A and B are shown apart, each in its own frame.
Chain A
């Protein structure tokens, strides 16, 4: 794993809401085809950091970002870069499943393909099926592709959102606490899915659940009070961390 190429790199990244920094001077590398978990107590800036990686943070009111994020070596915050193009290469799945209620299951998955210009149902049928299979949802929805997504269960809706995010085959997939609203069985199926996804994507998952981080990730980054405390291979982070604060957190002494 350590040999894999860096796909995404944050360099001295600081994110603010107004004058208040929520993320301070974070430098972190995500290697290709690995799963990186970001853990830390509530309010430690892990979600804000994630939202900087696809330029979503800057859309919040009074939000600003300093530093660099390199995607395959190119800074996505360079002045001539269009954030819309960046977001097409870096997919994201949110804490609450958010399928488009006005679109069918099929059209939800096709949404990201259609902004790139391909339009007819025949054109997108194949990548839509591939994405739904990739999200382990195909067998459950193949007979009701034209149904409203809000008729699906919470776990199915979240897998639909994963299918929607991976359909345009982004380079990186950001998952922001994707199972926090799900029951244990739905959570397990998403976690198994994350293991599958890393074959094709570089995955970054924010989670407040340390067991989840230990189960799904190759490396883990621990955030505290907006700063990156430690980043290492997951097994080492949970057995022999070098920082006292990391050890205190992973052993449940605070947070």
Chain B
């Protein structure tokens, strides 16, 4: 007969084992994707890949310089619009949490957060692309901004609310006006967290494809004019992967690897920001 202690120890080992298995299963697809991308994409990477534009359909060689620059521009526009508005709205929600307007904004942000990204594309197509008369990198940026807005708003709100109220009182008791208390104490203390949330949101939108189909559209040529249709890595992958040409397939694998690497770098940056907060604090 096993003693009670031995049985408990056995139970503990079994449960620990199950959680380890679950963790490994969760990691499996991630590593599988990453390994696949490296195996199939790394061979596409060379100097031409980064500085040349795609070859004509069926031809070989070339690269995705247009898509790399396009991704940076479209995501840049998205960030320039989405981050200030989202951070501002988040600070408002944290500082005036109980007003009816704040409740409405919070509710709308949560609904928007759960809206499929293709809806954002159609919305921007109706309100930006159609009035302009043509697809453009700018409208793609607007679509990405719409997507990141609720994410940035809510994470900013959470981060500012994590700042202890005792710091607000310390500032007010010193004679800080309300706006200085908000900006110089609450937002400043929450800033590393806000920045982390912003970077995570940028990483999220960098890989978006659906909303860009209706807005940035894609372009096989190198464009820096935001008013022209513009290529991004995600659109490039979509078009090339569904084409019948082997050379384009290779470029799609390479583009996927580069996109993943970009997201990885942003993620590492976010972690670095978080860590600096911990050591400062």
Contact = CB atoms under 8 A, between A and B. Distances in A.
Interface of A: 54, 56, 59, 61, 84-85, 87-88, 91-92, 94, 96, 98-102, 111-112, 115-116, 148, 150, 161, 164-165, 168
Nearest to B189: A102
A98 B170 contact: yes
Given A56-B169, A115-B180, A98 B174 contact: no
Interface in B159-205: 164, 166-167, 169-177, 180, 185, 188-189, 191
Contacts, number: 65
Interface of B: 98, 164, 166-167, 169-177, 180, 185, 188-189, 191, 280-281
A54 B174 CA distance: 10
Contacts of B171: 100, 111
Nearest to B164: A98
21 contacts: A54-B173, A56-B169, A61-B98, A84-B175, A85-B175, A87-B172, A92-B169, A94-B169, A94-B170, A94-B173, A96-B166, A98-B166, A100-B167, A100-B189, A102-B185, A102-B188, A112-B174, A115-B175, A150-B281, A164-B174, A168-B175
Contacts of A54: 173
Nearest to B175: A88
Given A84-B177, A112-B174, A98 B169 contact: yes
Contacts of B174: 87-88, 91, 111-112, 115, 164-165, 168
Main secondary structure of the interface of B (DSSP, over half): helix
Instruction: Please name the 3 residue pairs, one residue from A and one from B, whose CB atoms are nearest each other, closest first.
Output: A88-B175, A92-B173, A98-B166
Nearest to A95: B166
Contacts of B98: 61
A165 B174 CA distance: 7
Contacts of A164: 170, 174
A158 B188 CA distance: 22
Given A87-B174, A98-B167, 7 more contacts: A56-B173, A88-B175, A94-B166, A100-B185, A115-B175, A116-B175, A168-B174
Contacts of A92: 169, 173
B173 A87 contact: yes
Contacts of A112: 174-175
A102 B172 CA distance: 16
Contacts of B170: 94, 98-100, 161, 164
Contacts of B191: 102
A165 B185 contact: no
